[in-house]
Amino acid sequence: MQEKRHFLWCGLTVLVSVCMLVLVERPTAPASAVAEQPFANSVEQRAEMINELRAIRQLLLDQNALLREQNKLLSEQLNILKKAAPGESRRESDPGKPTKG
């Protein structure tokens, strides 16, 4: 009777072990394993960050150029307005003086 129980337990252990080995996922091809890495490759990640920073730098240079152009246009517009209404600019610059009228 002891031998039958021992044989039954050994058989059950082997059966469970085989079932677990069959159900475990087997790794696929190495090429797809690279794509499924939980963390990015540090060299590729640095290269991507450098490219992104270069793109940001270029955008900032473009933005600065546009702001300089806008400031130039606003300065020209302000000069034109000052020439068109010289009395208006004096009244605005000295709000404490009473106006005529």
| Count of domains forming the chain | 1
pLDDT (tens digit, 9 = 90+) per residue, 62-90? 999 999 999 999 999 999 999 988 766 55
Does 49 score more than 60 pLDDT?
Answer: yes
72 secondary structure, DSSP code: H
Kind plus residue range of the DSSP H or E element containing 45:
helix 42-84
Q: Please check whether residue 23 lies inside any domain of the structure.
A: no
- For residue 79, the enclosing domain spans 43-93
Q: Please check whether residue 22 lies inside any domain of the structure.
A: no
Q: Please check whether residue 38 lies inside any domain of the structure.
A: no
Q: Please check whether residue 64 lies inside any domain of the structure.
A: yes
Q: Please check whether residue 80 lies inside any domain of the structure.
A: yes
Q: Please check whether residue 17 lies inside any domain of the structure.
A: no
pLDDT (tens digit, 9 = 90+) per residue, 2-12? 777 777 777 77
Q: Please check whether residue 26 lies inside any domain of the structure.
A: no
- Residues in Cβ contact with 33 at an 8 Å cutoff, skipping those fewer than 6 apart: 27
